[in-house]
Structure 1
Amino acid sequence: MKTIIRKYTILDYFILVKYKIFTLFFLRKARLIRTPIFVRGKFLIDFGSGLTTGRSCRIDAFLTNDNLNSQKIIKIGNNVEINDNVHIAATDRIDIGNNVLIASNVYISDHNHGIYKGIIQDSPLSKPNDRDIYSSPVIIEKNVWIGQYVCVLQGVTIGEGSIIGAMSVVNKDIPPYSIAVGSPAKVVKKYDFKNKIWISVSHD
């Protein structure tokens, strides 16, 4: 079995110590928070324990007239690992389960400027920033792995143990124990627990 062997230089250890000291002050129950990190609405976020982040992550929990009485609108489970340049933004609810691994440059949002389906829709002649915010919860269940450059959009649930391939756009629910790829993301494999293998899914 292949595993990554981490070899650190003296400078690497110095930087890790600096991050660890910052972590103890910023979020004591986290494992390691790398700076810079940008957090808005920290009081609306439950970080869980054992969190690891990469550099330049941005986590926005926006206070709105709809969530004034909410306890937490972003909930991050235990032992979650978030890599560099991840942006998570919530006005309603984003739940990330235990042991989720998120690669670099991932965007996860539960909201959108304007509405573009149904009977009443926003006009392209209006200013995007003047349009009402529409939101619906994002749920990422435990043991999910999200690949590089993935975009997870509002109202989506990613089922337990699933894998989202790099550069995918997730705009619909992904069932548990699936591998999904593409834009929009489609399930290409499902795990067969009886035979302990991933089985390809046909889209004919």
Structure 2
Amino acid sequence: MLTYPQVMPVDLLKLVQTARDAAFSLLAAPGFARFGTGSRILLPFRWGNRDKVAVGEHCLIAAGSWLLVPDRTAPGPVIVIGDRVRMHQTSITGVMSVVIEDGVELARGVYISDHMHGFADPEAYIRDQPLERVAPVRVCQGAWLGQNVVVLPGVTIGAGAVVGANSVVREDVPARSVAVGAPARVIRQLAG
């Protein structure tokens, strides 16, 4: 007797979700400065001025991620994501330059920004005050940022570096090193 595998409702839902995300990626791709082949965006996803964002090939931008360039007039692309980058519920906001090189892994809840809001005027809402400390950010190839890492303006995280969960990175992290804490400090060098 020939038997067929039973399709469970949850399997059907997964197929629908995969098709929906593939269709969204296909339809959204032309609006980006670049959107590489094989890259996928999983919904829900938020963006601002996606024409200022370049996405490499075979990237995964998982559900809950956010890519924002608030200044429509900024020369772009402002946010550049290399090939084979994976991000999970990651927020990246840039006004000057945020570069995520090839093969970087960004765990859930990572926040990266090349600018900060001023807060000197006690009469104005923080969100309405001018930007301060605008400086480029770079996460070099093969680096891994753990869950809930915050990367502040002007930081370069070296190739193959590891930043531990819940760290706040305010200074450069050398290549092939491990940094942890708030503020993040290098605790060891990796071989190689």
> How high is the TM-score relative to the length of structure 1?
0.80
Change (3 A) 1:126 1:175: same
In the alignment, is residue 98 of structure 1 matched against residue 96 of structure 2?
A: no
CA offsets 1:121-158 (integer angstroms, 9 cap, x no match): x3555532232112111111110111101111111000
Aligned partner (choices 30, 52, 58) of residue 50 of structure 1: 58
Q: Verify the 8 A CA contact 1:23 1:30 in the aligned structure 2.
A: no
Q: Distance in 1 between matches of 2:116 and 2:137?
A: 13
Correspondence for 1:196: none
Aligned partner (choices 81, 88, 93) of residue 76 of structure 1: 81
In the alignment, is residue 174 of structure 1 matched against residue 173 of structure 2?
A: yes
Q: Which runs of 5+ in 1 are unaligned?
A: 1-7, 116-121, 194-204
Q: Distance in 2 between matches of 1:30 and 1:165?
A: 29
The one-letter code sitting in structure 1 at the alignment partner of 2:116 is: N
Give the 3-state SS of the residue equivalent to 1:88 in structure 2.
strand
Correspondence for 1:140: 139
Q: CA deviation at 1:30?
A: 4.4
> How high is the TM-score relative to the length of structure 2?
0.84
Q: CA deviation at 1:9?
A: 3.2
Q: Distance in 2 between matches of 1:53 and 1:59?
A: 10
Q: Distance in 2 between matches of 1:180 and 1:110?
A: 20
Q: CA RMSD in A?
A: 1.9
Give the 3-state SS of the residue equivalent to 1:23 in structure 2.
helix
In the alignment, is residue 109 of structure 1 matched against residue 110 of structure 2?
A: no
The one-letter code sitting in structure 2 at the alignment partner of 1:18 is: R
Give the 3-state SS of the residue equivalent to 2:182 in structure 1.
coil
Correspondence for 1:128: 126
Q: Distance in 2 between matches of 1:23 and 1:192?
A: 38
Correspondence for 1:18: 20
Q: Distance in 1 between matches of 2:61 and 2:79?
A: 16
Aligned partner (choices 18, 35, 41) of residue 33 of structure 1: 41
Q: Distance in 2 between matches of 1:63 and 1:91?
A: 6
Displacement over 6 Å in runs of 4+: none
Correspondence for 2:150: 151
CA offsets 1:55-88 (integer angstroms, 9 cap, x no match): 12111012166x3xx13111110111111x2111
Aligned residues: 176
Q: Verify the 8 A CA contact 1:64 1:91 in the aligned structure 2.
A: no
Give the 3-state SS of the residue equivalent to 1:187 in structure 2.
strand
The one-letter code sitting in structure 2 at the alignment partner of 1:177 is: R
CA offsets 1:150-200 (integer angstroms, 9 cap, x no match): 11111100000001111110011000001111101111111122xxxxxxx
Correspondence for 1:198: none
Deviates more, 1:124-133 or 1:73-82: 124-133
Q: Which runs of 5+ in 2 are unaligned?
A: 1-9, 30-34
Give the 3-state SS of the residue equivalent to 1:180 in structure 2.
strand
Percent sequence identity is 30
